Amino acid sequence: MRTINRKLVRDISNMWGMVFVIALMITCGAATYITFLSTLDSLKETQQSYYQDYYFANIFASLKRAPNHVAIQIREIEGVNRVETRVQSGLNLEVPGFDETVTGMIISLPDEREPILNSLYLREGRLPTPYVDNEIILGDGFAEEHGFTAGDQLKTVINGKEKKLIIVGIGLTPEFIYQGQPGSLSPDLKRFGILWMRRAPLAAAYDMEGAFNNVVLSVTREANTQDVITQLDQILEPHGGLGGIAREDQNSHFFITEELNQLSKTATIIPTIFIAVAAFLLNVVVGRLIRTQREQIGILKAFGYSNQEIGLHYLLMVSVIVIIGLIGGVILGYYLGQELSALYASYYRFPYLNFVINPWDVLAASVISAAAAYSGVFFSVKEAVTFPPAEAMRPEPPKLYHRSLLEKLGAARFLDQPTKMVLRQIGRQRVKIAFGVLGVAFAAALMIVGRMSNDSVKYLIEVDFRQSQPFDLGVSFRESISDHALMEIVRMPGVYYGEAYRGVPVRFTYEHRNHLTAIQGYPQNMKLRKILNTQEQPVEIPQAGLLLTEKLGEILNIETGDTLTVEFLDGSRRTTGIKVTGFINQFIGLNGYMNIEELSKLLPERHVVNGAYLLVNKSYEDEITKELTDSPFVGEIISKQKIIDRFYESTAQTWLIMSLFISLFAGATAFSVVYNNARISLSERSRELASLRVLGFTRGEISYILLGELAVLVLLAIPIGFLLGWALTWFIVWSMQTELYRIPMNISRATYTLAAVIVIFSALLSGLFVRRKLNRLDLIGVLKTRE
Amino acid sequence: MPSLESNVPIFSAKGLTKVYQMGEVQVQALRGIDLEIFSNEIVVLLGASGSGKSTLVNILGGLDTASGGRVTYRDIELTHASEKELTNFRRLSVGFVFQFYNLIPSLTARENVAIVTEIAENPMTPEEALTLVDLGDRMDHFPAQLSGGEQQRIAIARAVAKNPDVLLCDEPTGALDSKTGIVVLKALQKVNQSLGTATVLITHNVVIGGMADRIINLHDGRISNIERNEKKISPDQMTW
C-alpha cells in the first residue's frame, strides 16, 4: 500500500466521529429517498399487475333490472371485450360483539365458473358450491378486522329476511381495493363488508331470476370508453340504467389513484427536500473537514506531491465516507421501503406486494450524495493548494478580530472575557456560523414537514367536521321519501332537532370538461350543516343558483356567473343548465350545493328528501341508531364522532410511523450538524482553549466558550427553522392538492415545540460528546507547537 | 542579590522521575531530580533539547505529573494533587510564558490580561500589568495587530497580573530575534525586581544565563551542575 493511502486509512480511523456523522447524513438522505421512491414504485407495480392478472373491468353499470338476454346486446357494442352480468345489492350484517351498524354489499359469482372480470383472489378456503344458497366468500379486509375465517357463520339481513351464511372462503378483487362506504374518508374495513354468493341463490333472494342489475365490461385496447358507455347507457335506459361509469370514476380505482397520486407527490417532494438538505450539509461539512487538513496539504506539497495527487487523496477519503453512507442508506432504504410498502399494501388491501427497487433511484441518490461531497472537496482542496507550501504548513495567521456589535452598543462593561470571546468568534466567522445555523434550521424544518400530515389532517377534521357539520347523526334513506318522514324521526326520544336534505347524483359538464358527483339540496338557514366560503366563514345557500367546491370549479374551469350543464343521474335523466353563484371551501370531496326547493323544481318528484341530519342527546345515540337501523326506509346512519374516530383509527398508524421515521432522520441531521460544528470549532480552537486551561481555567469555564457559541447557533437556528418549515410545508401543501383532498395549511404548536425540543436535544447530545473531547485536551502539546 | 539561605524554598523536588510511554517505547525524560526554588530568584534552566527542561517545568507548573519522586509547592504535594487542585494551583499561584505566546486572538491586549485577572484572587489591574511590560499604549490592540515581541510582553503581563509566586517561562525568546528577545528579557527582569516573583526560565541560549541568580544545567534527565551567578548582568549587556 502506498504511504499516502495508508495515511488515508489512518486519517479515517482517527476521525471516526466526523466520518460517522457525515456518513450518517448521507445515510439519512439516501435512505429517505430510496424508501419513498421504492414504496411508490412497488405500489404502482403491484396495482398494475393486480389489475392485469385479475381482469379489472373498464366499465361499471348499475340498473334496476334487465333480463339476461340484454347481455347479448351489450356484447355486440363495438369495442367490448368481455361482459359479466351480475346481481348485487346492499345488505346489513351482524357481527357478534360489535354493536355498530355494519353494512355491506353482496355480489353474485357465476354459478358454474369463475368470474371473467374482477376475478377473486382467494386468500383461504374455496369458492361456494354452485346453487347452494348459504355459502359465501367474505372480503378479506372485513374478515381480518373481525377475525372471521373460513368455516365461520355470518348473520345477515338479505332483502329484509334474516339469513345465516357460512363463510367458505376469504377473498378480494381489484374492484374493492378500497373498501368502504361510498363517501367515507378512509377505508372502513370494520363497518363495511363485501360478500360473494353464487348467482342462482342470490338472484332468488332478490327476485332477480333470469335477470341482472349490474354489469361490468372490459374493452379492447382501441375502443373509446366514452362511446361504449354512451351505447351501453342507451341499451340499459329502458331497464332503469343509472349510467355507466368508466374505470377512472370507479370508487375504488378513483380513491386508490388519488392516494397514489398523493403518495407520489409526498414520495417525491419529501425525499428530494431531505436529500437536498443532506447534500447541502455534506458540502459544507466536507469543505470544513479538508480545511482542517491545511497543514498536511502544505507538507504533502512540500514533499513534491502534485495538486492532482492531493486532490485525489482527499477525493478518495471522501469517497470512502460517501460509500459507507450510501451502503447504509441503500440497506436502510431497502428495508424501510419494504416495510412502508407492506404497510400501504395492507392498508389498500392488495393481495400481494411486488416489491421493486428501481436501480435508477439508487443511482440518483448516489450521484446526488457524491456530487455534493465532491464539490465540497473540490472547492476546499482548490483553496488549500493555492497557498505556497511553506505558508500552508504554517497554520492560518492569527485572525483579526473586532469588537462585537453588542460591545459597540455599549454592553462591553457587562460582559466578561469568555463571553466576549464567544461573541467575537461569531462575529468573525459569520459565514461559517450562517451555514451552521442554516443546517440546524433545516433539521428543524424537516421535523415540521414530517409532522405535516398529522397537523393538517387534524385541522381538516376540526374545520370540516366539527365546525361545518354540527350534527351528531347523519341518516340516508334507501329511497327518496316524503319530507314528512322527518317529523317522525324528530319525534323519537332523544332527538332534539333534525333537518332533511336531498342529494342527487349528477354529471356536471362545462365546455368539454365533465365531472360525476352529486348536488346536495339544503333548506334555507340550515343549522346542522354549514357551508363555508373560501375564507372558511359560514355562508347561506342562495335562493337560486349553485355553489361549487372551489376545487371542482378549478377542474371544470368555470367561474361565478357561468352556466353549468347538469345531467341528473337519478333515473329521470333530465338535463338542465344551472348558474354557478359562488365557490365554497371543502377539504374533502367535490360537490355542488343548492336550495332544496330550487333543486326539487328541476326533478319529477317534489317534497321528497333522501337524507337527514340530527342533533341528539349523546346518551341516546346508540338507541336511536338501533331504532333507525331497524326502520325499513333507512339506508345508512353515520355518527360524526364515529367517522372521526374511525378516520384517526385507520390513519393513525401510518402517521405515527411516517412521523417517527422523519423525526428520527431530522434528529440525526441536527445531531450531525451540531456535532460537526462543535468538532470543527474544537479543532480550530483547541490551542486557545488549552492555553486557558493552563492559565487556570476549569473545564466548565472553557466548555462555556466553545459550547456558548453552539448555543447561540442553535438558538438562532430554531426560529429560522420554523420559518423554513412553514415555507416547505406551504410548498408541499400547494403541490399536493388532489381531487379528493385539499390539505389545509396548518402547523400546530406541538409540532413547533417538538421540532425545537429535538434540535435542542440533539445539540445537547453533541455538546456532551464534544465536552468529553474537551476533557482530554493536550495541555502540553499545545504549548510546544507554534500555532 | 537576595540571600537564598534565609528563604524557605517555594518548590522542592526530591528524586523526581518521569517516564513517557511513547507507543511501545519508554522514554525516560527525568531520571531523579533534586531541586529547590526560592522566592525572588531567577533560575535559568539550560540544556540541549531532550534534556528534560520542559518536562521539569511542566511538572512544577502542574501541567504534568511525575512518575516517581516528590514535588511540593509550599505545603501542597503536587505529586498526588487532583485535577481540581492542579487547576486551582495554576489559577492562583503560577504564571506561564510560552515560546509561542498563546494569546487569545479574539481578545485585545487588555482583555487577554483581564481573562486571567477575572479569575484570580488578588490580581493587579490589566493596565498595571501592561504598564509593567511597557505596553501601556497598546492595550486595545488585538494580537494580530502586534509584533512578536509585543505579543510576548502581553503574555508576560498576563502571567504576572495575578501576582503569582512563580513565573515559569519556556523558551520565552525562542521565537524572537535577539533585539526583541532582549526587550522581553528586560520585562521579565523588571517583574522579578519589582515584584520579587520567582522566575524559572528555560532556554538553550547560554548567554541568557547571565541574568540568572542560579544556572541549572540539565543533561539527559539529570542535573549535571548548578552554578551560582555572582556577576548578574542586565539583558542590555547581552548579545547573541
Summarised one tens digit per residue, pLDDT across range A251-294 is 888 888 877 877 777 777 777 777 777 777 777 777 777 777 77
Number of structural domains, chain B? 1
* CA-based nearest residue in chain A for residue B90: A696
Nearest C-alpha of chain B: how many angstroms from A683? 15
Query: Which residues of chain B make contact with A398, given a CB cutoff of 8 A?
Result: 103, 105, 143-144
Predicted model pTM = 0.64
Query: Which residues of chain B make contact with A420, given a CB cutoff of 8 A?
Result: 106-107, 111
Q: In what order do the strands lie in the sheet with B94-97?
A: B94-97, B166-170, B198-203, B42-46, B214-219, B222-228
Q: For A540, phi and psi rounded to 5 degrees?
A: -85, 150
- Of B63, B84, B118, nearest to A694 by CB-CB distance is B63
Report how far residue A483's alpha carbon sits from residue A612's, in angstroms, rounded to the nearest whole number: 10
Taking one residue from A and the other from B, the number of pairs with CB-CB distance under 8 angstroms is 94
Q: What is the per-residue pLDDT for A722?
A: 94
Residue B18, beta-bridge partner list = B30
Nearest C-alpha of chain A: how many angstroms from B157? 13
Residue range A603-649, pLDDT digits in tens? 888 888 888 999 999 888 888 888 887 777 787 788 888 777 777 77
Residue A773 CA, distance from chain mean position: 42
Q: What is the ipTM of this complex?
A: 0.73
Of B49, B65, B84, B104, which to mutate for an interface test with A (greatest number of A Cβ within 10 Å)?
Answer: B104
Instruction: Give B 191-210 residues with CB within 8 A of chain A.
Output: none
Select the more confidently predicted residue: A630 or A702: A702
Instruction: Give B 95-114 residues with CB within 8 A of chain A.
Output: 96, 98-100, 102-107, 111, 114
Query: Which residues of chain B make contact with A784, given a CB cutoff of 8 A?
Result: 54, 99
Residue A46: which of A268, A392, A351 has the closest Cα? A351
With 0-12 / 13-18 / 19 or more C-beta atoms within 10 angstroms meaning exposed / middle / buried, residue B39 is middle
Q: What is the per-residue pLDDT for B5?
A: 45
For B20-30, b where at least 16 C-beta lie within 10 A, e where not — what string? eeeeeeeeebb
Report how far residue B161's alpha carbon sits from residue B94's, in angstroms, rounded to the nearest whole number: 11
Query: Which residues of chain B make contact with A694, given a CB cutoff of 8 A?
Result: 61, 63, 90, 96, 102
Q: How far apart are the first and last CA of chain A?
A: 32
Report how far residue A49's alpha carbon sits from residue A352's, in angstroms, rounded to the nearest whole number: 10
Give me chain B's average pLDDT, please: 89
Q: Which residue has the cell 360478500?
A: A195
Test A787 with B100 for CB contact under 8 angstroms. yes
- Of B64, B89, B107, nearest to A417 by CB-CB distance is B107
Residue A42: which of A291, A258, A340, A277 has the closest Cα? A340
Q: What is the per-residue pLDDT for B192?
A: 92
Q: Is the pLDDT of residue A787 over 70?
A: no
Report how far residue A411's alpha carbon sits from residue A227's, in angstroms, rounded to the nearest whole number: 81
Test A398 with B143 for CB contact under 8 angstroms. yes
| A667: Cβ contacts below 8 Å, ≥ 6 apart | A443, A447, A758, A761, A762
B63 touches A at CB < 8 Å? yes
* β pairing state of A513-522 and B68-73: unpaired
Test A428 with B88 for CB contact under 8 angstroms. no
Residue A219, beta-bridge partner list = A80
Q: What is the per-residue pLDDT for B2?
A: 47
A399 touches B at CB < 8 Å? yes
| DSSP assignment letter at A396 | P
Give me the mean pLDDT over the A508-534 stretch. Answer: 86
Domain membership of residue B2 (yes or no) is: no
A785 touches B at CB < 8 Å? yes
Residue range A426-442, pLDDT digits in tens? 888 787 788 888 888 98
Residue range B61-91, pLDDT digits in tens? 888 889 999 999 998 899 888 888 888 888 8
Q: Which residue has the cell 473586532?
A: A402
A406 touches B at CB < 8 Å? no
Q: Is the pLDDT of residue B4 over 70?
A: no
Report how far residue A731's alpha carbon sits from residue A747's, in angstroms, rounded to the nearest whole number: 13
CA-only gyration radius of chain B, Å? 17
Dihedral sign for Cα A550, A556, A558, A564, please.
Answer: negative
B143 touches A at CB < 8 Å? yes
Q: How far apart are the first and last CA of chain B?
A: 25
Residue A510: which of A573, A569, A570, A553 has the closest Cα? A553
Helix (H) or strand (E) holding A718: helix A699-736
A717, A720, A722, A728 alpha-carbon torsion, rounded to 10°: -120
Q: What is the per-residue pLDDT for B16?
A: 94
Q: Is the pLDDT of residue A770 over 60?
A: yes
Select the more confidently predicted residue: A434 or B7: A434
Residue B3 binned pLDDT confidence (cut-offs 50, 70, 90): very low
Share of chain B above pLDDT 90, in %: 49
A776 touches B at CB < 8 Å? no
Q: What is the per-residue pLDDT for A86?
A: 95
Residue B1 binned pLDDT confidence (cut-offs 50, 70, 90): very low
The x, y and z cell numbers of residue A535, run together, are: 375564507
Q: What is the per-residue pLDDT for B42?
A: 95
Q: Which residue has the cell 410511523?
A: A657
Q: Is A349 helix (H, G, I), strand (E, B) or coil?
A: coil
Domain membership of residue B4 (yes or no) is: no
Residue range A77-103, pLDDT digits in tens? 999 999 999 999 988 888 888 877 788
Domain membership of residue B3 (yes or no) is: no
Q: Is the pLDDT of residue A249 over 50?
A: yes
Test B63 with A688 for CB contact under 8 angstroms. no
Q: What is the per-residue pLDDT for A743?
A: 66
- Amino acid at the residue A744: P
In contact, A518 and A477? CB cutoff 8 Å = no
Residue range B35-53, pLDDT digits in tens? 999 989 999 999 988 899 9
Q: Is A385 helix (H, G, I), strand (E, B) or coil?
A: helix
Query: Which residues of chain B make contact with A402, given a CB cutoff of 8 A?
Result: 142
B91 touches A at CB < 8 Å? yes
Give me the mean pLDDT over the B226-239 stretch. Answer: 92
Report how far residue A185's alpha carbon sits from residue A647's, in angstroms, rounded to the nearest whole number: 7
Residue A60 binned pLDDT confidence (cut-offs 50, 70, 90): very high
Share of chain A above pLDDT 90, in %: 25
Select the more confidently predicted residue: A728 or A661: A728
Tell me, what CATH number does B122's domain have?
A: 3.40.50.300
The x, y and z cell numbers of residue A715, run together, are: 438558538
Residue range B90-99, pLDDT digits in tens? 888 999 898 8
B87 touches A at CB < 8 Å? yes
Nearest C-alpha of chain B: how many angstroms from A689? 9
Q: What is the per-residue pLDDT for A643?
A: 75
Q: Is the pLDDT of residue A182 over 60?
A: no
Query: Which residues of chain A make contact with B102, given a CB cutoff of 8 A?
Result: 687-688, 691, 694, 782-783, 787
Query: Which residues of chain B make contact with A697, given a CB cutoff of 8 A?
Result: 87, 91, 119
Q: Is the pLDDT of residue A162 over 70?
A: yes
Kindly provide the residue ranges of all beta strands, DSSP E only, lying in A632-694, ordered along the sequence.
634-639
Longest dimension (CA), chain B: 52
Q: What is the per-residue pLDDT for A255?
A: 80
Q: Is A347 helix (H, G, I), strand (E, B) or coil?
A: helix
Give me chain A's average pLDDT, please: 84
Residue B182 binned pLDDT confidence (cut-offs 50, 70, 90): very high
B86 touches A at CB < 8 Å? no
Residue A595, beta-bridge partner list = A522
A589 touches B at CB < 8 Å? no
Q: Which residue has the cell 497557498?
A: A387
Test A401 with B87 for CB contact under 8 angstroms. no
DSSP for A3-54? Answer: HHHHHHHHHHHHTHHHHHHHHHHHHHHHHHHHHHHHHHHHHHHHHHHHHHHT
Residue A662, beta-bridge partner list = none
* CA-based nearest residue in chain A for residue B158: A695
Q: Is the pLDDT of residue A374 over 60?
A: yes
Q: Is the pLDDT of residue A757 over 70?
A: yes
Q: What is the per-residue pLDDT for A387?
A: 67
Q: Is the pLDDT of residue A552 over 60?
A: yes
Select the more confidently predicted residue: A709 or A10: A709
Residue A350 CA, distance from chain mean position: 18
Test B144 with A397 for CB contact under 8 angstroms. yes
Share of chain A above pLDDT 70, in %: 92
Select the more confidently predicted residue: A547 or A374: A547
Give me the mean pLDDT over the A524-533 stretch. Answer: 84
B90 touches A at CB < 8 Å? yes
Test A420 with B106 for CB contact under 8 angstroms. yes
Residue A197, beta-bridge partner list = A108, A136
| A759: Cβ contacts below 8 Å, ≥ 6 apart | A440, A443, A444, A447, A670, A714, A717, A718, A721
Q: Is the pLDDT of residue A388 over 70?
A: no
Report how far residue B205's alpha carbon sits from residue B188's, in angstroms, rounded to the nearest whole number: 16
In contact, A538 and A530? CB cutoff 8 Å = yes
Q: Is the pLDDT of residue A347 over 60?
A: yes
Select the more confidently predicted residue: A360 or A380: A360
Report how far residue A738's alpha carbon sits from residue A259's, in angstroms, rounded to the nearest whole number: 9
Q: What is the per-residue pLDDT for B20?
A: 84
Q: Name which of A125-139, A384-398, A631-645 the model is least confident about.
A: A384-398
